[in-house]
Structure 1
Amino acid sequence: MANCVRFSPSDLPDGTKPRMYFHDSSYFGANQTLPSPAEVLARSLINERPSNPPPVKFEELNLIVKFGPTVSTSEALCLWEIRKSLNNQVPVPEVYGWDSDGQHVFIYMQLIHGVTLFERYDSLSSDDKRAICQDLRRIMSQLRAIRQSPSNQIIGSITHGPLKDRILDSHPGTGPFPSVRQFHDHLSWLWRRIAPEPEKVIDPWRKSLPDDGPIIFTHSDLHRKNIIITSTTPARVLSIVDWEQAGWYPEYWEYCKATYSVGDWEDWRCGGWIDSFLTPHPQAKEAWDFTCNSIGGF
């Protein structure tokens, strides 16, 4: 793993501000101004997909703007922290700032020119897949270099707020949690709480969730659609996008979420490719699958 980089929430820009522009980013080098929320909405498909509008591209500005009811400044702060702490060793879009209109947060980011791993997967050779997985293994190693202070470790968002994972966000109590044990106890309670006397229900999977494992910074949605690769051969990873669910999770979480995003029968999973860049956690995965099935996460 890369050299450890100590993280503190106090090092982050203030995510509670309705507007923040990073004028030291490359976007403002040419004295450009960012499109206003109204200009973004004018180009968007929000009327067709109000609950989940797609990001808006400004090709002429090399800019993409992500917005919507589930978008928060936490994602912008993740991108800011990764680039600041890891010196571009984890390829993510450069974030230029955010704005809001009272209803939505608008995150302004670098437009990455490439194709998703999902789009190109069926045409990739084994050598291409191997090269991509080598890139991903290096990227994951670098990402895990960001560590919380030993005296201030939590399970939660990058700001030490509630978790953003979509599997959990429709259920009560998304944290933050002061320890891995308390987080696991909460997961166990989530599926037992529907019983008349949940405290009397024995959880056969609880012991499979390791309370002594480390807390690491996690993307939490390594779907192939969120991995941007080159359109040429040999294929290489250009960027990891969509950090809205990222935060501090138990070590096994990244592996469980990555395998959750693909069918058991698909080559990306059954071909061993995920296992080549993320450490498998078979016991935790069984417990995780049971819990997510029980709370309706799938």
Structure 2
Amino acid sequence: MHFLDSSYFRDHGTSRTLPSPVEVLARSLINQRPSNPPPVKFEELNLIVKFGPTISTSEALCLWAIRKFLYGQVPVPEVYGWDSDGRHVFIYMELIHGVTLFERYDSLSSDDKRAICQSLRTIMSQLRAIRQSPSNQVIGSITHGPLQDRILDSYPGTGPFPSVREFHDHLSWLWRRIAPEPEKVSDPWRKSLPDDGPIVFTHSDLHRKNIIITSTTPTRVLSIVDWEQAGWYPDYWEYCKATYSVGDWEDWRCGGWIDSFLTPHPQSKEAWDFTCNSIGGF
């Protein structure tokens, strides 16, 4: 799939093709990191290609949908197309010229961090505007397929789930499944996972490495990247994942910055932490 109306083809002409999978692999480090190769940059084309055994077109569809329906509100790389060589999916997208929040974090002032978090709060509120049809609500990928979250992808049964309750029952079963009689093992945390909460569209990996900001002052959020785990999740999931992926001693977490742009869910987080630690984390 090539989007001929994208800026890549407008800038280079529709006769200019995207680099083939063979060309991407020739520039890649796949021999050093076969299970998780880093994206390949084509600086001369303002292009980056994400590929690997765990990459799917679901991520490309996320980026395409967000840019189409929330253009100017949720900053994401423009998708130029995707391809496959039978082993890997290749996603061709805009190269964002900036640095990650993780790279620049220690040099940022409190005012810089506050401005970033205000932007992120606005971005997240806009992202939540994406809704499923009330008559077709599921916990699953953007296309209502299986969930892509790394916490779950090593275990059986990743959905989609027709309700929040069935998803929570599955989480509860995952950590009890190794017991000789799992149905007889009580789950003290199950009641802390709310079955009546809303299902929202979720990035599911808001790590500082996935937030691209300017390299100079004034500091601005340029893009949110790495949407491979995104999909429809309970509303607490974003907060739990964002806090789980950073040490509780780190300023990004203990300084209250995450809580300033994502709504805290303390009760759900306790249950979520227990469940995910019990099944092995990610």
- TM-score w.r.t. the length of structure 2 is 0.98
**What is the CA–CA distance in structure 2 between the aligned matches of 1:97 and 1:137, rounded to whole Å?**
29
1:49 Cα shift?
0.9
Q: Contact 1:255 / 1:278 at 8 angstroms: preserved in 2?
A: yes
- For the residue of structure 2 that corresponds to 1:128, the secondary structure is helix
Task: Spell out the pairing of 1:128-277 with structure 2 (5 A cutoff).
Answer: 128-277=112-261
1:88 Cα shift?
3.0
Q: Deviations over 1:193-225 (max 9, x none)?
A: 111111111110001001000000000000000
Q: Deviations over 1:262-286 (max 9, x none)?
A: 0000000000000000000000000
Tell me how many residue pairs correspond in the alignment: 279
Q: Contact 1:131 / 1:234 at 8 angstroms: preserved in 2?
A: no
- TM-score w.r.t. the length of structure 1 is 0.92
**What is the CA–CA distance in structure 1 between the aligned matches of 2:163 and 2:227, rounded to whole Å?**
23
Q: Deviations over 1:25-63 (max 9, x none)?
A: 111157532000111111111111111110000000000
1:297 Cα shift?
1.0
Q: Contact 1:44 / 1:55 at 8 angstroms: preserved in 2?
A: yes
**What is the CA–CA distance in structure 2 between the aligned matches of 1:169 and 1:45, rounded to whole Å?**
24
**What is the CA–CA distance in structure 2 between the aligned matches of 1:284 and 1:89, rounded to whole Å?**
28
Structure 1 unaligned segments of length 5 or more: list them.
Answer: 1-19
Which deviates the most, 215-224 or 227-236? 227-236
**What is the CA–CA distance in structure 2 between the aligned matches of 1:54 and 1:77, rounded to whole Å?**
20
**What is the CA–CA distance in structure 2 between the aligned matches of 1:31 and 1:144, rounded to whole Å?**
38
**What is the CA–CA distance in structure 1 between the aligned matches of 2:75 and 2:39, rounded to whole Å?**
19
Which deviates the most, 111-120 or 38-47? 38-47
Q: Deviations over 1:217-245 (max 9, x none)?
A: 00000000000000111211000000000
Aligned to 1:11: none
**What is the CA–CA distance in structure 2 between the aligned matches of 1:196 and 1:54, rounded to whole Å?**
41
Q: CA RMSD in A?
A: 0.8
Residue 56 in 1 paired to residue 35 in 2?
no
Q: Contact 1:82 / 1:88 at 8 angstroms: preserved in 2?
A: no
**What is the CA–CA distance in structure 2 between the aligned matches of 1:253 and 1:176, rounded to whole Å?**
16
**What is the CA–CA distance in structure 1 between the aligned matches of 2:113 and 2:127, rounded to whole Å?**
21
Q: Contact 2:4 / 2:14 at 8 angstroms: preserved in 1?
A: no
**What is the CA–CA distance in structure 1 between the aligned matches of 2:129 and 2:69, rounded to whole Å?**
9
- For the residue of structure 2 that corresponds to 1:256, the secondary structure is helix
**What is the CA–CA distance in structure 1 between the aligned matches of 2:15 and 2:204, rounded to whole Å?**
35
Q: Deviations over 1:76-127 (max 9, x none)?
A: 0000000111123100000011001111100000000000000000000000
**What is the CA–CA distance in structure 2 between the aligned matches of 1:135 and 1:52, rounded to whole Å?**
30
Q: Deviations over 1:168-201 (max 9, x none)?
A: 0000100000000000000000011111111111
- For the residue of structure 1 that corresponds to 2:131, the secondary structure is strand
Runs of 4+ in 1 over 2 A off after TM superposition: 29-32
Q: Contact 1:252 / 1:281 at 8 angstroms: preserved in 2?
A: yes
Match of 2:101 among 94, 114, 117: 117
**What is the CA–CA distance in structure 2 between the aligned matches of 1:69 and 1:200, rounded to whole Å?**
38
Q: Contact 2:56 / 2:228 at 8 angstroms: preserved in 1?
A: yes
- For the residue of structure 2 that corresponds to 1:158, the secondary structure is coil
Q: Contact 1:74 / 1:159 at 8 angstroms: preserved in 2?
A: yes
- For the residue of structure 2 that corresponds to 1:148, the secondary structure is coil
